[in-house]
Structure formats: C-alpha cells, structure tokens
Structure 1
Amino acid sequence: MSTTLASGSSEVGRLARSVLGIFKLRIGVMIMVTGLVGALVAPTASLGVGQWLVLAMSVLMASASAGAFNQYYEFESDARMGRTRNRAFVTGALRRRPLWLAVMAAMLAGAVAAAWQVLNPLAAIFVFLGAFFYGVVYTVWLKRRTWLNIVVGGLAGSFAVLAGAAAVDTQIGALPGLLAVTLFLWTPPHFWSLAIANEAEYAAAGVPMLPVVVGPERAAQAVFVSAVLLVAGSLLPVAFGAGLVYLLCSVAGGTYFVYRAWQLTRSVNRGTAIGSFLASIVQLSAVLVGASVDAWLR
C-alpha cells in the first residue's frame, strides 16, 4: 500500500511540474516584477492592496498564457533543440490537445478582464499586448521569418512596465516610459547572448536567430553594441528625476554587462556567451532594484 501511495504521489508531482513548466513561470515572475516596478516609479503611485494584487496576477497570468502558447506552438522545433527537448509537450508528459488552447485563452481573458475591471482599460490593453506580442507577433509571425524576431518581440516586456504605470495614471510619466524603453533595449543583447551559446541548435531547428544569420562573431559585436546602447538608455531616467540609488545600480549593473559583452567579442564561445547572458540578468535586476528603492525613498 505504501509503495502504491508513494508511486501515486510521485506521478502527481511529475504532472504538477509538467503543468507548471509549460507556463514559464520564472520568466513570468520577472515580467510581473517589471510591471510592479512600472507602477512604483509612476509619479503618483497610490494603488490599494487589491489593485497591487490584481496588477501582479494579471501580468503574471497573461505572461503564463503566452509562455504556454509558445510551447504548444513550437513543440516540433523544441524537439530539435537540446535545451527544450524535455519540455512537456515534446516528451508527451502532457498531451497536446486543443483543450490547452482553451485554458490559455481563458487565462489571458481573465487577466485582461480583471485588469480592466479593477485597474483601468489602458492597463488592461497593455496586459493584453504583452501576451499578444510574445505569443503571436514573436512566436507565430516573426520567430521563423527574420532575425528581427526578438527585437520586435522584446516589446512584450515593455508592455508590462506600461501596464503598471497605466494602472496608476493613464498619462504615462517619463520615468516609467524610459523604464519601458530600457526593457526594450535589454531584450536583444540578452537573447542574442543565449542564441550564440545555442547557435547550432537554433540552426538545426531552422530558427533565424542573429548568430545563425550573420555568424557568432558578428552577433557578438551586435551584443556588445546593444549592451552599450542599453546602458546609455538606462541612465536617461536620471535626467528625469531618478535619484542616486538608481544611478549607482544602473552604472554598476551596466558596467558589468558591458564588460561581459566585451569579453564575448574577444572570445566567442559558449562560456563567454552564457557569461554575457547571465550578466544581462544582473544588469536588469540592478536597474529594477535601483528603481524600486529610489521610488520608495522618494
């Protein structure tokens, strides 16, 4: 009996991990945080507890629905890539049925409806656009057609910031607007670094990521230039009221990312590409922490 119960518990645990895995919750949580920071840096951040909760959950649910759709739609190319071949729709841990599309649509509709009802229509529209740009514009329209896929698709993260800002005030201020620009500039060097590390897999899957199209060396140069532009853009909020904490965090995180991106140009290999990829996460985290602390101090 105990063996049977243990086996059943193990199966339930595996199923739960499979279900949670298709929603890309780690990415979703980061996008949720950007939405909350977008609200924090708005000049008149005055949401109630319930509104903060709805903002967080609506952005997270919309992101999760888009992430699940990405895995549902991309299951064939995922099977040809080492880092994605163990995803649930590829392995059969979850059967790829149309019912999943209904679940994803319901999640997105619920997220947008909650934001519309509790926040305001503009915030709800931004919540929708974030999921739409990742799920449809990037995954369906651009990913297999052009190396610009991740550039345009990067707007998905920017919309989360704008959703947070709009939840506070439909007149988007300079600080959240510039933070949204920072998210847009961040996405290409972040994903191109990862694409360099996995260039052979993207080529095998037929996905025209930048290093597949122009080669890893030229892509590394693009990562470095993009990182420099990102850091320059991340400093612009200082001219519009961001304080010393934000400045120090942006400079520290940005310097580290630029250094790692420069190392990538000097020696293009998987190790330096992953180093640049991880440094981009450090840079974004530093910007978000700096913006949050600065807003709290104000």
Structure 2
Amino acid sequence: MPSIPTSTGASGFPLRAILGVFKLRIGVVITLTALTGLAVSPGPGLGPLQLLVLTLSVLVSSASAGAFNQYYEYASDRLMSRTSKRPFATGEIQHGPVWLLIIVALLILSVAAAWLALNAWSALFVFLGAFFYAVVYTVWLKRRTWMNIVLGGLAGSWAVLAGASASDPQLGAVPLFLALVLFLWTPPHFWSLAIAFRADYANAGVPMLPVVVGDEKAAQAIFLGTLCLVAASMLPLAFGLGVIYLIGAALGGLVFIQKAWQLTRRPDRQSAMSCFHASLLQLTLVLLAAIADAQLAF
C-alpha cells in the first residue's frame, strides 16, 4: 500500500503539503458558518466541551471533504495553473488508497463525535456538508453540468444547520435564512473565480458557467445572483436580528453589488478577482455581524 512520502521538508515530513491537502482555510470558513448557526439559534447554549466538539467536527468533516476533492481530482488538477501545485498533483504526496482510509476515518470520527456529544440532527448535517462537497459536487456534478456549483453550494448551508441544530433541533427562521444566504452566495462567489480562470476550467473539461456561456453572460448571472443574495441576507432582520446585523449585511452587500456590476461592464480577470474578494468580504461581514447581533440581543 502506498505511504505518505517522507522525503520533503527540513524535517523529512511534508507537513505543509499535508495541511494543504485538507484545505484548512476553507474549513475555517465553514466552521465559522456553523458557529454562526449556533449563535443565532434560539435554543440553549452549549457547554465548553460541546462547543469544542461542534467546532472540531465541522472542521474535520470539511477537511476530509477537501482532501477527497484533491484526491479525486489529482489528474485534472495538473491541467490547471491554479491547482497544479497541489500535493497530489505534483506527487509531493503519493496518491494511493491509504488516503481514502484516512479521509473516511476522519469523516466517521467527526460525525460520531457530533452524534455522541450533540445530537443526531447535528451529526446528520455535519455528514451532509462533507457529502455534498465530496460526492454531489466533486464526483456527480462538476464535470456534467454548469449547475455543479449551484447544487454543490449546499455544502456550506448544511454547516449553518449543523451549528443551529446542536443547540435546538427545532430550527428557527434565522438559521434557515442564513443557510439560504450560504446557498445563494456560492454561485456568484465561485463563478467570479471561474471567469478569472476560465481557460483552466476549459482545459480541464470542467463546464463552469463562464466556459459554457462566456464571460459576459456569466458576469450578468453573477450580478443577478448577487442581487438575490443581498436581498436574502436582509430576511433575518424580520425575525430578530437588528442594527448590528443590518450594518454588516448592508455594507458587505453594497460592496459585492458594486464589484459585480463593474464585472458586467468589464468581464476580465482583474474585475473577476475583485468581485471574488468582495464576495469573501460580504460573507465575512454577514457572519460576524450575525454573531455579534445575536449575542448582544440574547
């Protein structure tokens, strides 16, 4: 059975490469969405141990899905400049069945911990987040349809519900609407990146929207999607969130709308990356404002 190579790095162990396999930066964002779901849930708070389990279970399940994504796509990653330096693609980490065992073990551990320390609903949502990214998006949809990232975007929505149901399985309106926000956020976020790297996706045979319809039409879809996203982000205001959330959601939304509009005027790489970064700012402000507003209100 292939083993993890030990010939790189000053210590003989490719720690940075292994951390890169698990896409921990994405995992941190997904974990923040789960903590936001917990913060806006009307149920009782969690104890310190339960909070730790929720945080680690979402982070580890996300990491397992990220590792599977790179494991499954190592050949096509070599065809894209954005992904060609990933450890499996370069061979820095050997591609072999041992990694599937590690990935499955991490997912089972994270789901089991959520089940034992929290409840079955939270564990189910932890599982669904990883499943939708690893299987629904990566395996089933990514190379078949431009709707890949639309349906695959549910991965982030499940994390919100995992956090909310950890406190109260009877989900309230606010966490449900924030799950909707995550669902609507993913397409304009990722399509912006896909415009910037359209040639990469075309070379790899991935039918991202800009590859299928061109940059101009994709930019128009991004703008319309951003308008829907920002409108949806205002819905929690009708169900308990207040001024702090309004300020964060409005500021982030306005920046994202502005950059998305500029992208329709000039659908090039620079504008696409500017829109991509605006999407990250928008989501960050929405999540942090929701946590701050909910905690001060309760």
| TM-score bucket (shorter structure) | over 0.9
Q: Per residue, is there more helix in 1 or in 2?
A: 1
Q: Are the aligned partners of 2:43 and 2:168 in contact in 1 as well (CA < 8 Å)? A: yes
The aligned counterpart of 2:252 is 253
Q: Are the aligned partners of 1:39 and 1:45 in contact in 2 as well (CA < 8 Å)? A: no
Identical positions, percent: 59
The aligned counterpart of 2:46 is 47
Q: Are the aligned partners of 2:8 and 2:14 in contact in 1 as well (CA < 8 Å)? A: no
The correspondence of residues 167-182 of structure 1 with structure 2, limited to 5 A, is: 167-182=166-181
Unaligned runs of 5+ in 1: 1-7
The correspondence of residues 76-155 of structure 1 with structure 2, limited to 5 A, is: 76-155=75-154
Q: TM-score, normalised by structure 2?
A: 0.96
Unaligned runs of 5+ in 2: 1-6
Q: Are the aligned partners of 1:32 and 1:160 in contact in 2 as well (CA < 8 Å)? A: yes
* Deviation by residue 1:99-155 (Cα, 9 ceiling, x = unmatched): 000000000000000000000000000000000000000000000000000000000
Q: Are the aligned partners of 1:66 and 1:135 in contact in 2 as well (CA < 8 Å)? A: yes
Q: Give 1:14 deviation, angstroms.
A: 6.2
1:56 aligns with 2:55: yes
Distance 2:22 2:78 in 1: 17
The correspondence of residues 124-273 of structure 1 with structure 2, limited to 5 A, is: 124-273=123-272
Matched to 1:238, the amino acid is L
Matched to 2:76, the amino acid is S
Give SS of 2:70's match. Answer: helix
Matched to 2:167, the amino acid is V
CA, structure 1 residues 13+187, in 2 after alignment: closer, same or farther (shift >3 Å)? Answer: farther
Q: Are the aligned partners of 1:85 and 1:91 in contact in 2 as well (CA < 8 Å)? A: yes
Distance 1:148 1:178 in 2: 22
The RMSD of aligned alpha carbons is 1.3
Identify the range of structure 1 (13-22 vs 109-118) with the bigger mean alpha-carbon deviation.
Answer: 13-22
Q: Give 1:13 deviation, angstroms.
A: 7.1
- How many residues are matched? 292
* Deviation by residue 1:29-55 (Cα, 9 ceiling, x = unmatched): 000010011000001241000011000
Matched to 1:288, the amino acid is L
Distance 1:257 1:204 in 2: 29
Q: Are the aligned partners of 1:69 and 1:104 in contact in 2 as well (CA < 8 Å)? A: yes
